Amino acid sequence: MKPGSKVQVRWQASQRQRRLVAVTALLVLTALYLQWHHVIAMPGQTDALQSAPRSAPPANLPHYRASIDAKVVSGIADNLSGLAFNPETQTLFAVTNRPPQIAELSTDGRLLRLAPLHGARDTEGIAHIQGDWFAIADERSNRIYWVQFGKGVTEVSLDHSPYVQLNDIAIKNFALEGLGWDAKRQQLLAVTEKWPMQVLVMDAPLSKLKPGLVDMKVSTWEVPAVDDMPSTDLAAIEVDPRSGNLLLLGEESSVLYEYSRAGDLLSVMPLWADMAGLAERVPQPEGLAMDHSGNIYIVSEPNLFYKFERKRR
DSSP string, 135-186: EEEETTTTEEEEEE--TT---EE-TT-EEEEPPP-SSGGGSEEEEEEETTTT
> For the chain, what is the largest distance between any 2 Cα atoms, rounded to a whole number of angstroms?
64
DSSP one-letter code for 38: H
Give the residue with greater pLDDT, 38 vs 234: 234
CA atoms of 200 and 275, how far apart (whole Å): 30
Q: Are 244 and 225 in a shared domain? A: yes
Task: Residue 116: give the domain boundaries.
Answer: 60-310
Q: What is the CATH number of the domain that holds 202?
A: 2.120.10.30
pLDDT tens digits for range 76-101 = 999 999 999 999 999 999 999 989 99
C-alpha span between 178 and 233 (Å, rounded)? 11
Q: Are residues 219 and 154 in the same domain?
A: yes
Torsion of CA 177, 183, 188, 194, to 10 degrees: -40
Interval 228-252 mean pLDDT: 94
Angstrom distance (rounded) from CA 92 to CA 238: 13
Q: Could you give the number of structural domains in the chain?
A: 2
Q: Say whether pLDDT at 35 is over 90.
A: no
Do 89 and 16 sit in the same domain of this protein? no
List of E strands, 183-303 = 187-192, 198-203, 212-213, 219-220, 236-239, 246-250, 255-259, 265-270, 285-290, 296-300
The three-class DSSP label of residue 37 is helix
Same domain, 186 and 86: yes
For residues 67 and 38, state if they share a domain.
no
Residue 261 has, within 13 A of its CA and on its CB side, a CA count of 14
Looking at residue 45, its pLDDT comes to: 29
In whole angstroms, give the CA distance from residue 20 to residue 107. 34
Are residue 82 and residue 173 in the same domain, yes or no? yes
Rounded Cα distance, 65 and 295, in Å: 10
* Separation in Å, CA 269 to CA 50, 186, 255, 265, 288: 22, 27, 6, 12, 13
Q: Indicate whether 155 and 195 sit together in one domain.
A: yes
If asked whether residues 35 and 165 sit together in one domain, one would say: no
Asked if residue 109 and residue 39 are part of one domain, the reply reads no
Q: Are residues 13 and 130 in the same domain?
A: no
Average pLDDT over residues 64-68: 98
Checking if the pLDDT of 293 tops 60, the result is: yes
At CA 247, angle to CA 68 and CA 21, rounded to 5?
Answer: 85
158 pLDDT higher than 60: yes
In DSSP terms, which residues pair with 114 in a beta bridge? 103
Q: Mark whether 144 and 77 lie in a shared domain.
A: yes
DSSP assignment of 80-139, as one string?
EEEEEEETTTTEEEEEEETTEEEEEE-TTS-EEEEEEEET-S-EEEEEEEETTEEEEEET
- Could you tell me if 48 and 73 lie in one domain? no
Pairing of strands 285-290, 265-270: unpaired
Least confidently predicted of 168-177, 181-190, 206-215:
168-177
Answer yes or no: are the C-beta atoms of 193 and 240 closer than 8 Å: no
Res. 222: pLDDT tops 80? yes
How are beta strands 304-310 and 64-72 bridged, if at all? antiparallel
Domain boundary among 53, 70, 89: 53
Strand partners for 89: none
Has residue 121 got a pLDDT over 80?
A: yes
Averaged pLDDT, 24-51 = 39
